[in-house]
């Protein structure tokens, strides 16, 4: 299979998707420009289209376990015991560099989605795309097993909505239909505040060309997004190095098999607790402070890198819906490698920050054996390349 094949035989591409991908990536560039212009903290600088705020980039080793069973010796994992050099970047998923726990309109601090991206250098095998001429395998993860948007169509609706706000950062209208659905059927004698909210939401939706004619599928997508957003809001991350991350979408694992991956802080390694954070008064950059404190400690940090592999025709893999996790997903991960982040490191010197800024991660910097699957991943092929090119990233 070649990289320009639009899909594997395991994927179902909806009609019109190629045009939707083009529009989404064009809007991505418009949004990057808008934020550089309108967000004073960027001072005109173009940043990543999302995950703009970094907590730090650190050097790591990616060590394939030497006790791997035969079934897992595929692609990157074909050589048990092999040690690769790697870089890891920790980030907030938010589109602007704002407080780690940003206050909402009522002043309540909100948890956000957090990211961990790993770039593994000079791997062996057929590649989907080189990374500035080098054969690197990137794995990009967030701290929930599900992604907040099911498919290209929903992500495009989000980008169209973001584009209407001054700094290209307000997704609120996307979620209004879900907020209305959560109110349930109108009941006789419902409290005045609920009735007022219902009236407000109904009018806002009826007057919004992007919301008033949602199909049943679009509505389901919106509800699924709201569910994942609710999960993100529940999880307070105290230290970006002490949380489990997930690839969320599916990937190929050799012939006819699909893989999900995850990285979990290794329990055998004592990590520095970072307890002096209160939800009421966190420092605005407390996550990079936690990372710096961890990196100046005297214990190397380790993550177990885990995968799970299922036959692509197994039930409920939902290859085309990134808001779903697999049945019993959390119970089925197997450790296949260890990420070791040696201390001490100084991720916040001017040079280190500039290097971190220039790195470009993409799920399509990948071995063909781990080809990204599903609509959200097909979308990422174009969007990441264009975001990185637009902000003049230089790769590794
Ligand atoms: C499974 C779903 C996804 C996951 C797990 C994920 C995760 C991540 C992570 C961790 C980063 C930060 C990489 C870094 O540190 O440089 C990132 C960057 C980015 N993501 Fe995603 N993402 C997902 C889906 C998407 C989608 C659907 C889009 C938009 C179409 C998107 C657009 C971007 C962009 C534009 C960047 C910055 C690229 C650059 O300029 O280098 N992501 N993503």
pLDDT tens-digit map of 362-376: 999 999 999 999 999
pLDDT digits (tens, 9 = 90+) for 198-231: 999 999 999 999 999 999 999 999 999 999 999 9
Q: Of 150, 229, 384, 388, which is best to mutate to test ligand 1, by the most ligand atoms within 8 angstroms of its C-beta?
A: 384
pLDDT digits (tens, 9 = 90+) for 242-272: 999 999 999 999 988 999 999 999 976 666 6
Report if residue 184 sits inside a domain. Answer: no
CATH of the domain at 121: 2.40.180.10
261: helix, strand or coil: strand
pLDDT digits (tens, 9 = 90+) for 20-72: 999 999 999 999 999 999 999 999 999 999 999 999 999 999 999 999 999 99
Distance 384 CA to ligand 1 centre (A): 7
Least confident piece of the model among 180-189, 280-289, 296-305: 280-289
**pTM of the predicted model, to two decimals?**
0.96
Report if residue 374 sits inside a domain. Answer: yes
CA distances from 86 to 197, 198, 232, 235, 391 (A): 50, 51, 28, 28, 22
Residue range(s) defining the domain that contains residue 278: 17-163+234-390
Note the pLDDT of residue 318: 96
Note the pLDDT of residue 270: 60
Residue 226: enclosing H or E segment and its boundaries?
Answer: helix 216-234
Report if residue 6 sits inside a domain. Answer: no
Distance 185 CA to ligand 1 centre (A): 37
Note the pLDDT of residue 373: 97
DSSP 304-344: EEEEEEEETTSTT--TT-TT-PPTTGGGG-EEEEEEEE-S-
| Residue 315: band (very low, low, confident or very high) from pLDDT cuts 50, 70, 90 | confident
Chain-wide mean pLDDT for the chain? 94
**Mean pLDDT (whole number) for 262-289:** 77
Distance 66 CA to ligand 1 centre (A): 31
Note the pLDDT of residue 107: 84
**Ligand 1, atom 38, residue with closest C-alpha:** 384
Report if residue 99 sits inside a domain. Answer: yes
Note the pLDDT of residue 250: 97
Q: How many CA atoms lie within 13 A of 113 on its CB side?
A: 25
Report if residue 11 sits inside a domain. Answer: no
Distance 200 CA to ligand 1 centre (A): 33
pLDDT digits (tens, 9 = 90+) for 67-108: 999 999 999 999 999 999 999 999 999 999 999 999 888 888
| CB-based pocket (< 6 A), ligand 1 | 24, 28, 48-51, 89, 91, 115, 117, 140-142, 147, 155, 247-249, 322, 359-361, 376, 379-380, 383-384, 387-388, 391, 393
- CA dihedral angle for residue 396, residue 335, residue 311, residue 320, rounded to 10 degrees: -50
| Residue 174: band (very low, low, confident or very high) from pLDDT cuts 50, 70, 90 | very high
Report if residue 157 sits inside a domain. Answer: yes
Question: How many structural domains is the chain composed of?
Answer: 1
Report if residue 177 sits inside a domain. Answer: no
Distance 198 CA to ligand 1 centre (A): 34
Is residue 345's pLDDT more than 70? yes
Reported in sequence order, the residue ranges of 131-274 that DSSP labels E, i.e. its strands, are: 137-142, 245-246, 251-252, 257-265
Give dist(CA 28, CA 381) in Å, integer. 13
Give dist(CA 307, CA 323) in Å, integer. 18
Report if residue 3 sits inside a domain. Answer: no
């Amino acid at each position: 299979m070649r990289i320009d094949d639009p899909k594997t035989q395991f994927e179902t591409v909806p009609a019109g998707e190629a045009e939707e991908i083009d529009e989404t990536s064009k809007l991505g560039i418009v949004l990057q420009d808008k934020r550089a212009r309108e967000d004073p903290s960027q001072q005109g600088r173009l940043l990543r289209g999302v995950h703009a705020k970094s907590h730090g980039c650190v050097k790591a080793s990616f060590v394939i376990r030497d006790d791997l069973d035969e079934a897992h010796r595929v692609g990157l994992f074909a050589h048990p015991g092999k040690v690769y050099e790697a870089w890891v970047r920790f980030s907030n998923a938010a589109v602007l560099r704002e407080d780690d726990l940003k206050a909402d309109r009522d002043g309540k601090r909100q948890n956000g989605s957090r990211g961990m991206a790993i770039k593994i250098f000079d791997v062996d095998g057929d590649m989907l795309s080189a990374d500035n001429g080098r054969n690197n395998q990137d794995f990009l993860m967030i701290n929930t097993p599900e992604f907040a948007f099911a498919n290209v169509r929903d992500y495009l609706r989000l980008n169209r909505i973001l584009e209407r706000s001054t700094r290209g950062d307000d997704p609120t209208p996307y979620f209004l239909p879900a907020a209305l659905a959560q109110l349930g059927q109108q009941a006789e004698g419902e409290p005045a505040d609920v009735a007022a909210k219902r009236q407000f939401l109904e009018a806002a939706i009826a007057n919004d060309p992007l919301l008033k004619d949602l199909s049943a599928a679009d509505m389901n997508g919106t509800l699924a997004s709201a569910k994942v957003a609710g999960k993100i809001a529940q999880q307070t991350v105290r230290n970006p190095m002490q949380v489990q991350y997930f690839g969320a979408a599916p990937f190929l694992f050799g012939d006819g098999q699909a893989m999900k991956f995850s990285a979990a802080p290794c329990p055998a390694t004592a990590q520095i607790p970072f307890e002096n954070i209160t939800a009421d008064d966190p420092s605005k950059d407390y996550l990079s402070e936690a990372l710096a404190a961890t990196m100046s400690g005297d214990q190397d940090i380790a993550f177990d890198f885990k995968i799970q592999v299922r036959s692509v025709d197994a039930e409920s893999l939902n290859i085309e819906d990134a808001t779903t996790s697999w049945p019993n997903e959390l119970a089925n991960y197997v450790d296949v490698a260890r990420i070791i982040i040696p201390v001490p490191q100084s991720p916040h010197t001017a040079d280190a920050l500039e290097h971190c800024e220039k790195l470009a991660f993409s799920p399509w910097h990948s071995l063909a054996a781990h080809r990204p699957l599903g609509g959200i991943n097909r979308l990422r092929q174009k969007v990441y390349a264009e975001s990185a090119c637009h902000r003049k990233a230089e790769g590794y």
